[in-house]
């Protein structure tokens, strides 16, 4: 596999990491972060040092989120993927306050908040006279962007959470308590609007965020906030209009374009391509360094034959997600049968007989054809973010240390945000632009255009169709759960209905022939009983980890508005 030349931004990440202790990563979120957590306090004297210090806001501060929380919450909890034997709390919706992944996820997001706050503190206190105003403004905007995004994850997973803008000054403030959901959303929207004003249209360095990254996040934020501020089941039109406005601005003005082939989004080297608006920036920095490499592929790869470790043998697509792909239909006997033209399936999950010439098997050095095991535990293994074996990577990766980036915002989401915001409080739309943008995503996947009229038309573009498109477009990118939380804000019963209808159990997948299958049949594994969940108002959001409640009992008090 040809490796991409590491850009200067990623070189900076490697160089500055030697100064980064990040000692607060394993501390409670209210702890006072050491002034050396990002970098030494003396490391803010000129533009180069400031830019080096903010480079870690794109990698190391997000490491614990990327390691497991991304797919544990976003896909396992959302129902697009499951793990049969591990991480069962989120799969089965019985996550407790003592659950390890729950605590790790909470700390991961508050680590981003704390480290962003620390940078803002350090740049104001220690910034030298040689730091130019433009670089200082950009750096502050980067830290505020990361903090706002972390709070988006926090409020959508745990509901009311405390807003902390200064860990140093607020360490001994015993009055800190949770803030209401609406005020958290007000805070992060206000922050992102300010960030959009301060960031340049062209990023100052490849891989860094720009004005369009912030406006893309504003489109996402406003689409969600329309539900937060809903009146019963009616979303706030003002915010739907804002979501549509910012989505259109990014689509029309950013210069970003969809890649021609969906699979190219996940064939390394794909980093910082023209569809990407924000990525976590990972780089292979050697076997001794921890925190700037991408560890996630190891948990997803189905065995060591295609990775350095390969611990993803019990992870795969859910029965429910397979039903979302056009071409697979349920039979009278309860099985699913067929094939799909949707190219996203091949790029996201491995079906028996799928070929991946970019991945070389370690065992016999042949190109990977996903095998048919012939058992009733035939997982549809994860492909997305699994980019090659040790043979393909050579000296550019090692166990739990990969250089491929993690998408946080892609242009295709803006197309689908525009479509959903246009539908708004209706169930469907015939708006030509909304349908055009939906089809930009839909046809890129290899599917025929969705037509609202004519003899072969499917009728108006529905909200359900947009949601299904999102589930397929962003499966294994940590998105489906947050789509359902967004829905829950304004139509909780519909969110429960979707979740409770999902089959999250084992199933057997058989190709009609090997090699080169033309269709597949799917049969539920008879002895596997944990297939469905009971999502309700009592378990929809995650419980605050017990360890945090014992350290900060004020978190049990009723939430209050944030100014």
In a domain, 397, yes or no: no
Are the C-beta atoms of 319 and 522 separated by less than 8 Å? yes
In a domain, 273, yes or no: no
In a domain, 228, yes or no: yes
How far, in Å, CA of 367 to CA of 253, rounded? 41
pLDDT recorded at residue 10: 59
State how many domains the chain has.
1
CATH at 81:
1.25.40.390
In a domain, 240, yes or no: yes
- Tokens (6 digits) for 68: 């497991």
**For residue 560, what are the contacts with CB-CB under 8 A and spacing of at least 6?**
177, 178, 179, 180
In a domain, 297, yes or no: no
- pLDDT by 10s per residue, the chain, length 563: 444 444 656 545 444 443 443 333 333 444 444 434 555 677 899 999 999 999 999 999 999 999 999 999 999 999 999 999 988 999 999 999 999 889 999 999 999 999 999 999 999 999 999 999 999 999 999 999 999 999 999 999 999 999 999 988 775 566 789 999 999 999 999 999 999 999 999 999 999 999 999 999 999 999 999 999 999 889 999 999 999 999 999 999 999 999 999 999 999 999 999 999 999 999 998 876 788 999 999 999 999 999 999 999 999 999 999 999 999 999 999 999 999 999 999 999 999 999 999 999 999 999 999 999 887 777 999 999 999 999 999 999 999 999 999 999 999 999 999 999 999 999 999 999 999 999 999 999 999 999 998 767 789 999 999 999 999 999 999 999 999 999 999 999 999 999 999 999 999 999 999 999 999 999 999 999 999 999 999 999 999 999 999 888 899 999 999 99
In a domain, 499, yes or no: no
Q: State which H helix or E strand residue 408 sits in.
A: strand 406-410
pLDDT recorded at residue 194: 98
Are the C-beta atoms of 323 and 472 separated by less than 8 Å? no
In a domain, 484, yes or no: no
Range of the domain at 135: 9-257+542-555
Among 328, 325, 298, 323, residue whose Cα is nearest residue 313:
298
pLDDT recorded at residue 172: 57
């Amino acid at each position: 596999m040809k490796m991409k030349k590491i850009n200067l931004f990623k070189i900076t990440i490697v160089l500055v990491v030697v100064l980064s202790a990040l000692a607060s990563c394993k501390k409670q979120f209210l702890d006072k972060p050491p002034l050396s957590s990002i970098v030494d306090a003396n490391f803010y004297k000129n533009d180069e040092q400031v830019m080096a210090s903010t480079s870690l806001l794109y990698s190391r501060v997000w490491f614990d989120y990327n390691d497991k929380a991304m797919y544990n919450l976003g896909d396992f909890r959302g129902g697009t993927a499951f793990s049969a034997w591990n991480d069962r709390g989120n799969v089965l919706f019985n996550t407790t306050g003592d659950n390890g992944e729950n605590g790790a996820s909470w700390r991961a997001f508050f680590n981003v908040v704390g480290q962003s706050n620390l940078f803002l503190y350090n740049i104001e206190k220690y910034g030298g006279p040689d730091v130019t105003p433009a670089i200082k403004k950009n750096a502050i905007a980067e830290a505020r962007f990361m903090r706002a995004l972390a709070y988006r994850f926090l409020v959508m997973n745990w509901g009311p959470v405390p807003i902390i803008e200064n860990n140093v000054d607020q360490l001994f403030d015993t009055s800190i308590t949770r803030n209401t959901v609406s005020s958290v959303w007000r805070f992060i929207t206000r922050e992102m609007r300010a960030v959009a004003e301060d960031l340049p249209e062209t990023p100052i360095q490849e891989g860094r965020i720009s004005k369009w990254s912030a406006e893309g996040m504003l489109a996402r934020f406003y689409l969600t906030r329309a539900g937060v501020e809903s009146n019963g089941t009616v979303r706030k039109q003002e915010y739907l209009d804002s979501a549509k406005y910012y989505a259109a601005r990014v689509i029309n003005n950013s210069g970003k374009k969809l890649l021609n082939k969906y699979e190219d989004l996940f064939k390394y080297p794909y980093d910082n391509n023209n569809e990407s608006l924000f990525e976590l920036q990972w780089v292979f920095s050697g076997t001794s360094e921890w925190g700037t490499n991408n560890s996630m592929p190891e948990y997803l790869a189905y065995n060591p034959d295609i990775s350095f470790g390969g611990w993803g043998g019990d992870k795969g697509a859910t029965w429910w997600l397979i039903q979302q792909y056009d071409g697979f239909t349920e039979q009278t006997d309860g099985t699913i049968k067929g094939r799909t033209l949707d190219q996203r399936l091949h790029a996201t999950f491995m079906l028996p007989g799928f070929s991946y010439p970019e991945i070389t098997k370690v065992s016999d050095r042949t190109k990977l054809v996903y095998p048919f095991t012939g058992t009733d535990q035939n997982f549809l293994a994860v492909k997305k973010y699994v980019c090659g074996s040790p043979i393909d990577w050579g000296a550019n990766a090692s166990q739990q240390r990969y250089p491929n980036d993690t998408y946080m915002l892609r242009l295709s989401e803006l197309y689908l945000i525009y479509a959903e915001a246009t539908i708004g409080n209706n169930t469907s739309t015939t708006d030509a632009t909304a349908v055009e943008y939906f089809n930009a995503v839909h046809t890129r996947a290899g599917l025929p255009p969705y037509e609202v009229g004519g003899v072969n038309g499917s009728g108006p573009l529905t909200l359900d169709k947009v949601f299904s498109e999102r589930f397929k477009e962003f499966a294994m990118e940590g998105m489906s759960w947050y789509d359902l939380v967004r829905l829950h804000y304004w139509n909780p019963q519909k969110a429960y209905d979707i979740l409770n209808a999902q089959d999250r159990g084992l199933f057997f997948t058989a190709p009609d022939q090997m090699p080169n299958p033309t269709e597949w049949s799917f049969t539920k594994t008879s002895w596997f009983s944990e297939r469905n969940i009971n999502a309700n108002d009592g378990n929809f959001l995650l419980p605050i980890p017990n360890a945090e409640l014992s350290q900060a009992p004020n978190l049990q008090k009723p939430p209050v508005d944030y100014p």
